[in-house]
Structure 1
């Protein structure tokens, strides 16, 4: 079967470049929304997954979905701390951090509106367990004092949380002595202070969670079995990276479903726009179609040519939309984590998989919008076309 040259197809789009750009622009807007939603979902997932360390184990009360509604007594914490197989640091200290985690309401710098912020009690060992966390300003808080350090997203987004400022909560004044960067993970949205001071200030008798590092991460199942079979412990252990991956699921899934639903609704308009453009192209080129058929091009060649024209139009729109969406990676945004009801800062993240999905979505719109006009063009009779011209 003789095919119509691709250069001919592309030239037809260039000849109608104003219409082409308008239609491609409409598709680009839909593609931009589609890609941005996927990037937002992936950004949340990547932020929380990167928060965990593969060789760390996190312990929660059984049935607790998040750290803020978990509770581990001091007696249970002592039992976990004495388990075999826990790694030690250069000083011979067991790498275990017992941490209270609470929510605190703070006003935003931008508009003064309050939002929940995660406050974590930890220690120097807690910092050692999170090698991605680096102090970028100031110093570490001193044990036994009302000093705190703040994640860089908190320091830039909330009043009273920057270096040298003072926060008042839990009936105390807390001085910010340091700002840390956790490498775009969930810890950037937290405030850290001394665990025992936090316990006393918030009148807590139990820790919220424990984190420890295994000397051999392949021994996790053995450690988990030891915890599960001890009747004194009504707690469960998970790899830290798994815990934070689970934390991302609810929010990321909600954003993905809502965003994709909107994208599908918007895509109907884009498909109709592409269909109108292609119907107009067919109506303007009736004589051309008759000439092509008279020169020996079969109906299928005409159908494929017009369909390729529609696909090329959608590809242009898809590339424009994807290029525009890629710039969203430079934007910092925050939202409320459904699991903890606290502020979570993250960035949009574009991956090769998202780029492929976006282009496929764009081509699908072009195929659906261009098939009926292409079919109509292919079904035209040579005599009718030449008579109309």
Structure 2
């Protein structure tokens, strides 16, 4: 005979206090575990959506980021003249010569300062990044000291709001527009005219070239042509892959820190579940003996206590996941280890993360309940009834 699940559920309900305390411990671990996965997913999603698959980024060979790169004007002109580059309606290469610099700005809500990335772009920048749209004001005029700010920067930093002014590069710049980049990394940037920014910061060369190929399938051939051209010292990457690579250092740090906390907390949660289940077995010796006397086999007793532990894990998992899902309302910012600029991103819950978190909770419940369940199933009928 099998012990019905309803019987197990009623046992948990009859010991509500210990059930809630044990489930709360499990929920805390699941919350930390899910939050780490959500943070990593949010970071990855932000950086991947920053780049377009059909776009190509050209930077100096051996440079990991645009901040470290330098592309001379002559090399930029030679690269965008490649026949594989798509053309605009006017017959010009669909490319943007860009320069990247870092400045330090004061945050609105504190006296702290943080690095913000300033990107000088060409006239085709918006056409190359269709995810970006102006939400207020207008685009900067070429050849002027005007800039547009990402929505995230405008909210967090002094001088970055519409109509405000900031001073850098020995000039005063006016914010004439705000743009929304759909939660991508561009939301943490300020854009201006590339040539004006190069003059202001006395840069003789660009940081990178962003272009689109007429046929995306020709990327490998284009990459080979660029990297073997003796006139050039450039490396070609798909834009999406380039920005995805920027997350590796930060993602590794988040994973190591998060998983370390999860392991430490999970050990405590498993010990708590084990103690709870052992106490349950000790308090139900007579009940176990009665069940055995009524004909329930050892494996049924074992299964009943394991189901009870799994139910504890499931309750804790659902509670922890519910708390973690609320973190999606929170915006998080940190320093991008690759570019040394502030990057804003959020927590993102996916079905895969929810499934992994619940499985993790069930695994903790199983590990914590196995030994007590095994002890209960091994009790002899006479000994159990006599102990009662």
Residues of 2 paired with 1:229 and 1:25: CA distance?
60
Map 1:24-173 onto structure 2 (within 5 A).
24-173=23-172
Following TM superposition, by how much is the alpha carbon of 1:123 offset from its aligned partner in structure 2, in angstroms?
Answer: 2.5
Give a deviation string over 1:169-200, Cα, whole Å, max 9, x none.
11110000001000000000001000000000
Residues of 1 paired with 2:82 and 2:263: CA distance?
52
The residue number in structure 2 matching 1:319 is: 318
Map 1:177-188 onto structure 2 (within 5 A).
177-188=176-187
The residue number in structure 1 matching 2:359 is: 360
The residue number in structure 2 matching 1:344 is: 343
Residues of 2 paired with 1:84 and 1:159: CA distance?
44
Following TM superposition, by how much is the alpha carbon of 1:375 offset from its aligned partner in structure 2, in angstroms?
Answer: 1.1
Gaps of 5+ in 1: none
Following TM superposition, by how much is the alpha carbon of 1:20 offset from its aligned partner in structure 2, in angstroms?
Answer: 0.7
Confirm or deny: 8 A CA contact 1:42 1:252 kept in the other structure: no
Following TM superposition, by how much is the alpha carbon of 1:246 offset from its aligned partner in structure 2, in angstroms?
Answer: 0.8
Establish whether residue 334 from structure 1 lines up as the match of residue 333 from structure 2: yes
Give a deviation string over 1:175-232, Cα, whole Å, max 9, x none.
0000100000000000100000000001000100000011110111111111022111
Residues of 2 paired with 1:341 and 1:12: CA distance?
55
Residues of 2 paired with 1:94 and 1:58: CA distance?
14
Between 376-385 and 37-46, the greater mean CA deviation after superposition: 376-385
Residues of 1 paired with 2:306 and 2:272: CA distance?
15
Give a deviation string over 1:108-162, Cα, whole Å, max 9, x none.
1111201011110003311211000100010000011110000000000011100
The residue number in structure 2 matching 1:209 is: 208
Residues of 1 paired with 2:155 and 2:293: CA distance?
70
Residues of 1 paired with 2:88 and 2:252: CA distance?
39
Residues of 2 paired with 1:293 and 1:91: CA distance?
87
Residues of 2 paired with 1:91 and 1:336: CA distance?
40
Following TM superposition, by how much is the alpha carbon of 1:17 offset from its aligned partner in structure 2, in angstroms?
Answer: 1.5
The residue number in structure 2 matching 1:22 is: 21
Residues of 2 paired with 1:53 and 1:93: CA distance?
20
Confirm or deny: 8 A CA contact 1:49 1:248 kept in the other structure: no
What SS does the aligned partner of 2:318 have?
A: helix
The residue number in structure 1 matching 2:230 is: 231
Residues of 1 paired with 2:7 and 2:242: CA distance?
56
What SS does the aligned partner of 2:348 have?
A: coil
Residues of 2 paired with 1:83 and 1:90: CA distance?
17
Give a deviation string over 1:243-301, Cα, whole Å, max 9, x none.
01111122112101210111110111111111111111111111000011111111121
Map 1:255-274 onto structure 2 (within 5 A).
255-274=254-273
Following TM superposition, by how much is the alpha carbon of 1:91 offset from its aligned partner in structure 2, in angstroms?
Answer: 2.9
Confirm or deny: 8 A CA contact 1:100 1:121 kept in the other structure: yes
The residue number in structure 1 matching 2:6 is: 7
Q: CA RMSD in A?
A: 0.9
What SS does the aligned partner of 2:50 have?
A: coil
Alignment TM-score, normalising by the size of structure 2:
0.99
Confirm or deny: 8 A CA contact 1:163 1:176 kept in the other structure: yes
Residues of 2 paired with 1:178 and 1:55: CA distance?
27
Deviation beyond 2 Å, 4+ runs, structure 1: 89-93
Following TM superposition, by how much is the alpha carbon of 1:15 offset from its aligned partner in structure 2, in angstroms?
Answer: 1.1
Confirm or deny: 8 A CA contact 1:287 1:386 kept in the other structure: yes
Residues of 1 paired with 2:248 and 2:44: CA distance?
7
Gaps of 5+ in 2: none
Confirm or deny: 8 A CA contact 2:81 2:93 kept in the other structure: no
Alignment TM-score, normalising by the size of structure 1:
0.98
What SS does the aligned partner of 2:115 have?
A: strand
Confirm or deny: 8 A CA contact 1:180 1:188 kept in the other structure: yes
Residues of 1 paired with 2:374 and 2:173: CA distance?
72
Following TM superposition, by how much is the alpha carbon of 1:22 offset from its aligned partner in structure 2, in angstroms?
Answer: 1.2
Following TM superposition, by how much is the alpha carbon of 1:89 offset from its aligned partner in structure 2, in angstroms?
Answer: 2.3
Residues of 2 paired with 1:334 and 1:45: CA distance?
14
The residue number in structure 1 matching 2:239 is: 240
